[in-house]
Amino acid sequence: MPNSRRPRPIRLLTLGLAMAPLLDACALYHAAPLDETAGRPLASLTVPAATALPGGGRVHAFDATDGLDATEVAMVAVVYSPQLRILRAQAAVGKAQAFAAGLLPDPVFGLSRDQPSTGQVGASTAYTRGVSWDFGQLVTYGARQSARGHTDEQVHLDVLWGEWQVVSQSRLLFVRIQRGRALVERLEKETEVLRPFQPRLAAALRQGTLTFDVATTGLTAASDVARQLSDARTSLSTAEHDLRELLGLGADEPLRLVGDGEPPALSEADVYVALSASPPRRPDLRALHEGYAAQDARLRAAILGQFPMVNFGINRSRDNSNISSSGFTLSVSLPIFDRNQGAVRIEQATREQLNAEYSQRLLAAHSDVSRLLAAEKILLDREATLAPYAKDLATTVEHAERAYAKGLMDWTTYLGLRQSALAADVELVGVRLLLAETRIGLATLATGDWPA
């Protein structure tokens, strides 16, 4: 070929073939329409076989057709919770940012062309082309890659801690619903027993055979039970709606729950052993560990950034007199004034801040566990006293019912006994609910060991 130059089409084809692998590695745009679904029916939910609850790899069968037990509710929460979907999306953003921070810069290709004006005999078109690259990024590459690795692990642990909390929340709501349903059932039963007394009292007051101060006992008992029943139904409805929202279910989806979801007791020794483990068992504490290590790597990168930054390139050019030349360019930053001191101080201060945050979180973890253990002891003592008292009152009420039916007991004494028995039952439900919530809190803050 003349002048050993390829025809333009061939050169363009060669350039296109050379760029093809780079274009193949580029990201492509795909539309992602918004999910307009407002909750899903429970029957449509499936849980992948690989789903594992935090704290262990034990297997638990999932079958929504026969009702959900506490573990199945937790499994659905881990898979379908809108809170976790948002958290996982945020985690993907954090990993992408860490990935971007650890990349090396791309080489820079430059091309310039200088066309001579018309009428200049002997002048040719001048051009310059070259490739340059910032070698300074190699100095900090290792530290930035280390920061990326620790950041990825921190993001993963933040998601795991979010799963711990969602599982804990699902168990709390499960227990509240089951205890709430039992309380509503107990109050409804008491309402049915007291219902016949109200027309009798009203008739006696109209006839003047009963004074108002004597009738107050019966009227107050009925009014108090009605108020408690209304409060219990309101609390139960709130807990059911909260659980549906947590599981990503429709607002009116029926909740068929089975079992009481009573968490097992944890020994104080096991709790403190798990809390004091090194490395920590809790994901949030481990995440702070990884965040501190990532920040330490960023500090090292900032210190390495004090060294001169080198940019090197090679080029080839031709001037208007048709003289060709080739050479290189080299630029080196001189660390005289800036010396990356601002970035170093920022990273140092950030590392100190993370150190203080970890110390505070560790102290709070031990304090929270100690508070819950003390509360558990108080609740256990109260339950040990209240349970036999409530049982004795229930037996007394059974005898009183027979005596009242035979006319051997007046109605004021009978209602007084029923009020005392109801108050003991209601308090016992509340104590056991608080005890269950305390144990769930201990499992969340210390061990993360969930029964399968």
Beta strands in 293-371, from DSSP E residues, in sequence order:
310-318, 324-332
* Domains of the chain, start order: 63-107+137-307+358-447 (1.20.1600.10)
pLDDT digit string (tens) for 93-127? 888 888 888 788 888 888 888 888 776 777 788 88
What pTM did the predictor assign?
A: 0.81
Distance between CA atoms of 394 and 423, rounded to whole angstroms? Answer: 11
Distance between CA atoms of 382 and 424, rounded to whole angstroms? Answer: 12
Read off the tokens for 127. 């051009």
Distance between CA atoms of 13 and 16, rounded to whole angstroms? Answer: 5
pLDDT digit string (tens) for 54-88? 555 566 777 778 888 888 898 889 888 889 989 99
Distance between CA atoms of 166 and 108, rounded to whole angstroms? Answer: 48
Distance between CA atoms of 143 and 297, rounded to whole angstroms? Answer: 5
Give CA angle at 148 (356, 90), nearest 5°: 80
Give residue 255's region: left, alpha or beta (phi > 0; psi -120 to 50): beta
pLDDT digit string (tens) for 263-308? 888 888 888 887 777 677 888 999 999 999 999 999 999 998 888 8
pLDDT digit string (tens) for 386-425? 999 999 999 999 999 999 888 888 877 888 899 999 999 9
